[in-house]
Amino acid sequence: MRELVDKLAQNRVLSAEEFKELLSAECENSYLHQRAREAQQRVYGKKIFIRGLVEFTNYCKHNCYYCGLRSGNTGVQRYRLSMEQIMECCQTGYGMGFRTFVLQGGEDDYYTDDRLTEIIGNIRETYPDCAITLSVGERSRESFQRLFDAGADRYLLRHETANIHHYNSLHPANMSPENRKKCLRDLKEIGFQVGCGFLIGSPGQTPDNIVEDFLFIKELDPAMVGIGPFIPHSATPFANEQAGGLNLTLNALAILRLMKPNLLLPATTALGSIHEKGREMGILAGANVVMPNLSPVDTRKKYLLYDSKIGTEDEPQNAREKIDKQMQVIGYEVITARGDYVAI
Ligand code: 5AD
Ligand code: SF4
């Protein structure tokens, strides 16, 4: 096992068989995690970047089989935050030291380029020192360009799974893995700091699928990768499926850190939702970003991608204090820099 970890740290890639062996390793305090932490600390120190998440619309035209916000779930009370509410979230966040705002939503056609660029323009003008990250799904290249020109810096679009057949088993036929990958390439060419990402343990996923994810990431060379366990939502076709595993998620994080030491790698909410100490464990496996929720508390329960999502009760101020403490306990410090990707 040690030789494999050393080989990955040195070559930044392994064969499919070797990747699979590392993925299934027993992990707490393993050599894999230790080396991942070394790589993380060499680039970023023991410092954790924070991003303020604003879940501004839970309308979505898509019907992904795994997601609680799918259009087919008529049990969701749909909402859109007003411009004032969005700006209030940013104001609260700014006061607490957030210097990145992540505008996240379902794929909601209400948000035309004009409407989105107006929001981006307002945040850009009010907070010239902050990074603006978008997470609003697939759009045309022209649309991405307009959002970039309006002042957005980063874009998160998880590829969900790099394997075409697996992708098609998680999504209805009107979504295509090719278009998703095209969007990611367009975003990168336009100049966004791009984040892709995938679900761990989504129904039907094989270890070979995860290896494919690693190789896709190697090729795309994104600034960020968001990964978290699949967690079933009761009002979806996957209600009775198993959640993704903690070990597997932590090992995948550690492998990604060793493949690309400067990667921005969040310890995700989903990871924190499957284990009380999930986010801390994520940091100790190589993650270096956390993304607390800045959305109004009364809308959070309406943004449930999966059952038992954490952080739906915390006021933003508490959420910040809580994360500061959690990170301190494991010897890390939350910092308020923009936290841009540094190419090395
Ligand atoms: N479990 C875990 N993550 C999920 N997402 C959507 N549904 C679930 C779920 N049931 C993730 C997807 C999407 C991101 C916004 O949330 O990866 O890209
Ligand atoms: Fe919509 Fe995203 Fe959920 Fe799919 S995963 S239904 S695109 S919010």
- CA dist 22 and 20 (Å) reads 5
Instruction: State residue 248's pLDDT score.
Output: 97
Please write the tens of the pLDDT for every residue from 236-280.
999 999 999 999 999 999 999 999 999 999 999 999 999 999 999
Cα-to-centroid distance, 158 and ligand 1 (Å): 9
- Has residue 344 been placed in a domain? no
Burial string for 6-36 (b: 16+ CB within 10 Å, else e) reads: ebbbeeeebeeeebeebbebebeebebbebb
Residue that is written with structure tokens 């999930």 in the block: 278
- Has residue 24 been placed in a domain? no
Residue 6 CB contacts under 8 Å (≥ 6 apart), including other chains: 35
- Has residue 11 been placed in a domain? no
- Has residue 22 been placed in a domain? no
Other beta carbons within 10 angstroms of residue 39's beta carbon come to 19
- Has residue 292 been placed in a domain? yes
| Ligand 2, pocket-test mutation among 53, 107, 135, 305, most atoms within 8 A of CB | 107
- CA dist 173 and 166 (Å) reads 12
- CA dist 228 and 184 (Å) reads 19
Residue that is written with structure tokens 């390439």 in the block: 185
Cα-to-centroid distance, 72 and ligand 2 (Å): 11
- CA dist 158 and 276 (Å) reads 24
- Has residue 99 been placed in a domain? yes
Domain containing 150 equals 31-335
- Angstrom distances, CA of residue 146 to CA of 11, 140, 155, 181, 184: 38, 10, 13, 19, 16
Residues in the ligand 2 pocket, defined by CB under 6 Å: 60, 62, 64, 67, 69-70, 106-107, 137
Cα separation of the two ends of the chain: 28
Q: What is the dihedral of CA 268, 271, 275, 281, to 10 degrees?
A: -70
Domain of 256: which CATH number?
3.20.20.70
* Nearest Cα residue to atom 8 of ligand 2: 106
- CA dist 274 and 232 (Å) reads 11
Instruction: State residue 29's pLDDT score.
Output: 64
- Has residue 258 been placed in a domain? yes
Taking each helix axis from N to C terminus, what angle separates 316-329 and 83-95, rounded to the nearest 10 degrees?
A: 40
**If 0-12 CB within 10 Å is exposed, 13-18 middle and 19+ buried, where does residue 142 land?**
exposed
Q: Give the angle 131-275-301 at the CA atoms, nearest 5°.
A: 60
- Has residue 271 been placed in a domain? yes
Position in ligand 2 atom list of the atom nearest CA 305:
3
Please write the tens of the pLDDT for every residue from 37-93.
999 999 999 999 999 999 999 999 999 999 999 999 999 999 999 999 999 999 999
Question: How many separate domains does the chain show?
Answer: 1
Cα-to-centroid distance, 180 and ligand 2 (Å): 13
Q: Within the chain, which residues score under 70 in pLDDT?
A: 28-29
User: Could you tell me the pTM of the whole model?
Assistant: 0.97
Any ligand 1 atom below 6 A from CB of 158: yes
Cα-to-centroid distance, 230 and ligand 1 (Å): 7
Cα-to-centroid distance, 234 and ligand 1 (Å): 14
